[in-house]
Structure 1
Amino acid sequence: MKRIYFNLGIAFVFSILFLTDAGAQEFRDLDASPHDIVYFRTNKISPPKIKVLYGRPKKNGREIFGNVIPFGKIWRVGANEATEVVFYNDVVFGETEVKAGTYVLYAIPDQNEWTLILSSNTDVWGTYEYEEKYDVARTTAKVSKAEFLEAFSIGFKDKGKHINMVLAWDTTRITAPIKIIL
């Protein structure tokens, strides 16, 4: 008789656990700007030379540059956590030699030219912890125009000895010159 009650008790507990949402993960508040990763490799089977982890906000009909992202103010380059760039080799970013490692990429957008900044202060959210004293490199990049992109995107163009990291959103394009030191 004790065994019957024990088995009924176990069945009751399991039915409660499996027939209810107790312990189920809620996914109602998924991130509107999910993160993405882009790699630069010299060929499809080589180890990566550069990795970028960034948030991908969407335009959603908004005026982005000069409005959502004001001109002349520091921007995290993407959404949510600040964009992280990993260099697996020493590089030249703009005109500055940068050691292999992980950095945060910030920008100061303007209408015709952006200042791009690599910071050694990593694992930060947005620009709240940005401090100039952690700047490792700064370079400027001209603004160009191209086809419309709904979601902010980062990609690479291989130019032989140089690589261009391209930041793209709406019709705005920014190109950061990078040279890998081998």
Structure 2
Amino acid sequence: MKLFSKAVMLFIAVLATSLMSAQEQKPASPAATAMGKINGASITIEYSSPSVKGRPIWGELVPYGKIWRAGANKPTTFETTKLLMVEGKELPAGKYALYVIPEKDSATVIFGKDPSVGYNKYDESYKQLSVVVKTKKAKEMTENLVYSINKDNVTLTWDNLDIPVNIK
């Protein structure tokens, strides 16, 4: 009986350890939020942040000429409390899905009317606004996708690329 009790206790300990380590594992693309202000408008970007993990990103994992959700797992959302001028075009206050169509030296950034619509269900009727921006080589390699809200732009940075969008 003692041997059986010890075996059961050992099984429970191993099971508990396995469950605890499974809960501690960080998701492959963790949820992230960028918050800031531009010209008095509060901006919030919610996204999932994938990692490079040694993979070729631009033109391969994220193909050129195809719509991308600008993050991982679910639609990236962009919310503003006031009307903004995005690359000289009006974007009303509200919450939008954010999509990107990357090209070799530029990207089309799309603000979709419905923040719940994923890129695989997107069509032109969902578009609130789209702008074409020049991409730039990043100052350094960035392993995890990150959005930054600066005084006059929002920038998506991942791998060796910046996608800056001018905002007033």
TM-score band by shorter chain is 0.7 to 0.9
Q: Which runs of 5+ in 1 are unaligned?
A: 1-18
Deviations 1:99-118 (CA, angstroms, capped at 9, x unpaired): 11100110100010100000
1:99 to 59, 73, 92: 92
1:73-88 equivalent positions in 2, closer than 5 A: 73-88=66-81
Could you tell me which residue of structure 1 aligns to residue 48 of structure 2?
55
- Sort the Cα spacing of 1:40 and 1:173 in 2 relative to 1 into closer, same or farther, 3 A: same
Could you tell me which residue of structure 2 aligns to residue 144 of structure 1?
136
Distance in 2, Cα, partners of 1:132 & 1:28: 41
Distance in 2, Cα, partners of 1:42 & 1:116: 18
Could you tell me which residue of structure 2 aligns to residue 4 of structure 1?
none
Q: Which runs of 5+ in 2 are unaligned?
A: 1-12
Distance in 1, Cα, partners of 2:119 & 2:25: 23
Counting helix residues as a fraction of each chain, which structure ranks higher? Answer: 2
Could you tell me which residue of structure 1 aligns to residue 164 of structure 2?
175
Could you tell me which residue of structure 2 aligns to residue 72 of structure 1?
65
* Runs ≥4 residues deviating over 4 A: none
Distance in 2, Cα, partners of 1:28 & 1:165: 32
Residue 119, structure 1, aligned to residue 112, structure 2: yes
SS of the residue 1:27 aligns to: helix
TM score, norm. by length of structure 2? 0.81
Could you tell me which residue of structure 2 aligns to residue 35 of structure 1?
31
Could you tell me which residue of structure 1 aligns to residue 146 of structure 2?
153
Superposed CA RMSD? 2.3
Among all aligned residue pairs of Structure 1 and Structure 2, give the percentage whose two residues are the same amino acid.
32
Distance in 2, Cα, partners of 1:63 & 1:87: 32
Relative contact order, higher structure (CA 8 A, sep 6+)? 2
Number of aligned residue pairs: 151
Could you tell me which residue of structure 2 aligns to residue 3 of structure 1?
none
- One-letter amino acid matched to 1:140: V
Distance in 1, Cα, partners of 2:75 & 2:145: 14
Contact 2:77–2:95 (CA under 8 A) maintained in structure 1: yes
Contact 1:94–1:138 (CA under 8 A) maintained in structure 2: no
Structure showing greater radius of gyration is 1
SS of the residue 1:128 aligns to: helix
